[in-house]
Amino acid sequence: MKPILNIAAYLFVSLDHLPTLRSKMLEECNTRELKGTILLTGEGINLFLAGREKEMRGFLDYLRSDPRFQSLTAKESWSEQQPFKKMLIKLKAEIIRMNHPSIRPEEGRANFITSRKLQEWLDRGTDDLGRPVVMLDTRNAFEVEYGTFENALHFNIQKFTEFPEVIRTHKEKLADKTIVSFCTGGIRCEKSGLYMREIGMKHTYQLEGGILKYFEEVGTAHYQGSCFVFDQREALEPNLDSIPFEESKRKNIKVS
């Protein structure tokens, strides 16, 4: 087994006293020689970390000893080398910026679908009620270039704050479809899924755990290319091994 454990995790939960929390977490990470990035916000936590397995699992145990983080789950992959150069903990206004304060995932999630159930739908081409299924990529344009689901819809956005406006313009066109939104690890879909429901798009789901969880549970089925990740590995193949960009880049369908 490769020696470095990489984790990606997030949790929407109300947090306060962020500077104090940051200091304690940074000390724990440095003591364990972990590297990566943690975002702390009033609406929750988002983290990409890497380190030796024992130290990483020790840090996760430390986090979950706080009742606020008890339900945090992490997606795992392995690498030969440490993919991060330093340990950073940043204080932000939002885990993922959307500029819609009414969207609060902590208060209730959008409908979600598991990786294996999604594969079943994609194998068939319809959901359980016979409605056509459309995969909706909520990531930025450069991320989509690395890989995406077959025939996935995407809007060539440059930042996530553009998503609400552009999905509104396509609302009527997608009215008779079942929409499954997806992103790298699920975090953007926590907000996009709720937003689509808010504007009246009833037949919408988010892919639980995002592309990385789909790779872990399903693999290559209905997916082309790799998945961009925010560290020096750059992109992961469906077997969760890293792959150079030029080998993984794909041309994908865009909305006209």
Query: Residue 219, Cβ neighbours under 10 Å: how many?
Result: 15
Token output for 205: 């789901």
- Angle (CA) 186 188 194, round 5°: 100
CA distance 66 to 79: 29
Say how far apart CA 95 and CA 112 lie, in whole Å. Answer: 19
227 is catalytic: no
- Torsions phi, psi for 58 (to 5 deg): -65, -40
- Report how far residue 36's alpha carbon sits from residue 26's, in angstroms, rounded to the nearest whole number: 11
Question: Of 29, 183, 189, 227, which is the active-site residue?
Answer: 183
Residue numbers annotated as active site:
183
